[in-house]
């Protein structure tokens, strides 16, 4: 099938693929002990406390920016999202740690979700009207509950055995400090991992390999590349997902669109429940600032509370 025909076929069937993946997520909303849902009050871009942490490790200094929503009702605890940046921000630990906040304007996306309705301008124009209407309808029915977002800097050499070492840093250093110093629920069921491009494939690799750490996994425009040394990510997902919510997000101008949609189609063939979302837009910063950040936050806000994804 020609690429353009294949793309149209996948786009036309995206709703079916989304529906296929939502069954497992909806089932989680009915499980005993699902996280209580308490929406945050409306907020603005400056209503996020920014914590800047550094950690010495054998692999070098690790820097992490943590975003904590304020105001927060007394005693309220929130799910945690670990959000990983793209390759452009591996230039320095600071660039990586501040990538989602400064380069991708996650503060703006966060504020928009706290004070809907969402507009096409917030998506930098990269949103279809039916998708925008669906998101706003969902936010009307269930207000954005809020997340603590930890943004660790990735090393430029991430990959292979480095995934295991970096996941150990998350498990042994970052997550314990987050439980101690921030208002997170602190369970694996309330902890998600996601990222864009390099961060997307890293989130997939580490999320799949550490079911003890993460209850939900997402990947935005993940850099899925065949690597015989690592094995294909589809095989890792089949082996390690274990029924956890998974969403793959790509866009119609994403350089990784063919790889992401091919991986999703293969997962569907193998009966692995997941969600595929195909948005508008390029593989670029403008997409991260629009659909990328908004879709990532809302997905984990729902999935980590055992609620159906949009």
Return phi, psi of residue 36, to 5°.
Answer: -60, 145
Cβ distance 291 to 285 under 8 Å?
Answer: no
Res. 298: pLDDT tops 80: yes
Please state whether the peptide bond connecting residue 117 to the residue before it is cis, i.e. omega within 30 degrees of 0: yes
Q: Is residue 21 part of a domain?
A: no
Lowest mean pLDDT among 17-31, 32-46, 167-181, 199-213: 17-31
Q: Is residue 7 part of a domain?
A: no
3-state SS, residue 225: coil
The Cα 3–Cα 237 span in angstroms is 25
Whole-number percent of the chain with pLDDT over 70: 84
The reported pLDDT for the residue numbered 23 is 29
Q: Is residue 167 part of a domain?
A: yes
- Residues 54-82 pLDDT 10s: 999 887 789 999 999 998 988 999 999 99
Q: Is residue 63 part of a domain?
A: yes
The Cα 222–Cα 248 span in angstroms is 8
3-state SS, residue 187: coil
User: DSSP characters for 41-102?
Assistant: PP--TT-EEEEEEEE--TT--EEEEEEEESS--TT--B-EEEEE--GGGGGSHHHHHTIIII
Q: What is the mean pLDDT of residues 256-278?
A: 97
Q: Is residue 8 part of a domain?
A: no
Q: Is residue 17 part of a domain?
A: no
The domain tally of the chain equals 1
- Residues 109-121 pLDDT 10s: 999 999 999 999 9
Cβ distance 122 to 69 under 8 Å?
Answer: no
Handedness of CA 103, 109, 112, 117 (dihedral sign): positive
66 forms beta bridges with 51, 150
The Cα 62–Cα 209 span in angstroms is 21
- pTM of the predicted model, to two decimals? 0.86
Alpha helix locations (H) across 170-292?
175-181, 198-209, 233-240, 257-269, 285-287
Of the pLDDT bands very low, low, confident and very high (cuts 50, 70, 90), residue 256 is very high
The Cα 285–Cα 289 span in angstroms is 6
Res. 207: pLDDT tops 50: yes
The reported pLDDT for the residue numbered 42 is 60
Q: Is residue 54 part of a domain?
A: yes
CATH code of the domain containing 235: 3.40.50.1820
Task: Give residues with Cβ within 8 angstroms of 2, minimum separation 6.
Answer: none
Res. 4: pLDDT tops 90: no
CA atoms within 13 A on the CB side of 68: 18
| Mean pLDDT, the chain, integer | 87
Q: Which residue has the tokens 């124009």?
A: 125
162-185 burial string, b = 16+ CB within 10 Å, else e?
ebeebbebbeebbbeebeeebbbb
Domain that holds residue 150: 42-303
Of the pLDDT bands very low, low, confident and very high (cuts 50, 70, 90), residue 11 is very low
Q: Is residue 139 part of a domain?
A: yes
Q: Which two tokens stand for residue 163?
A: 């995934």
Res. 308: pLDDT tops 60: yes
Res. 17: pLDDT tops 50: no
């Amino acid at each position: 099938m020609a690429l353009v025909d294949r793309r149209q076929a996948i786009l036309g069937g995206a709703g079916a693929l989304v529906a296929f993946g939502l069954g497992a997520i909806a089932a989680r909303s009915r499980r005993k002990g699902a996280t209580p849902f308490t929406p945050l009050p409306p907020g603005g871009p400056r209503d996020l406390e920014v914590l800047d942490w550094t950690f010495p490790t054998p692999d070098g200094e690790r820097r992490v920016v943590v975003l904590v929503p304020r105001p927060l009702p007394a005693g309220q605890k929130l799910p945690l999202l670990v959000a990983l940046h793209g390759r452009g921000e591996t230039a320095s630990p600071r660039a990586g740690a501040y990538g989602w906040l400064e380069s991708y304007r996650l503060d703006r996306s966060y504020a928009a979700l706290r004070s809907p309705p969402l507009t096409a301008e917030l998506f930098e124009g990269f949103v279809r009207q039916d998708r925008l209407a669906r998101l706003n309808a969902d936010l009307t029915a269930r207000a954005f509950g809020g997340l603590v977002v930890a943004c660790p800097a990735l090393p430029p050499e991430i990959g292979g055995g480095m995934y295991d070492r970096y996941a150990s840093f998350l498990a042994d250093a970052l997550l314990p400090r987050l439980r101690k110093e921030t208002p997170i629920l602190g369970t694996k069921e309330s902890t998600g991992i996601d990222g864009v491009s390099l961060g997307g494939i890293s989130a997939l690799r580490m999320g799949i390999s550490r079911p003890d750490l993460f209850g939900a996994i997402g990947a935005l425009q993940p850099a899925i590349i065949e690597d015989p040394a690592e094995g294909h990510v589809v095989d890792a997902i089949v082996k390690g997902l274990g029924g956890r919510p998974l969403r793959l997000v790509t866009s119609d101008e994403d350089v990784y669109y063919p790889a992401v949609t091919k991986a999703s189609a293969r997962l569907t063939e193998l009966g692995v429940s997941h969600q595929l979302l195909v948005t508008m837009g390029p593989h670029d910063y403008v997409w991260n600032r629009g659909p990328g950040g908004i879709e990532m936050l809302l997905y984990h806000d729902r999935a980590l509370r055992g609620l159906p994804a949009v």
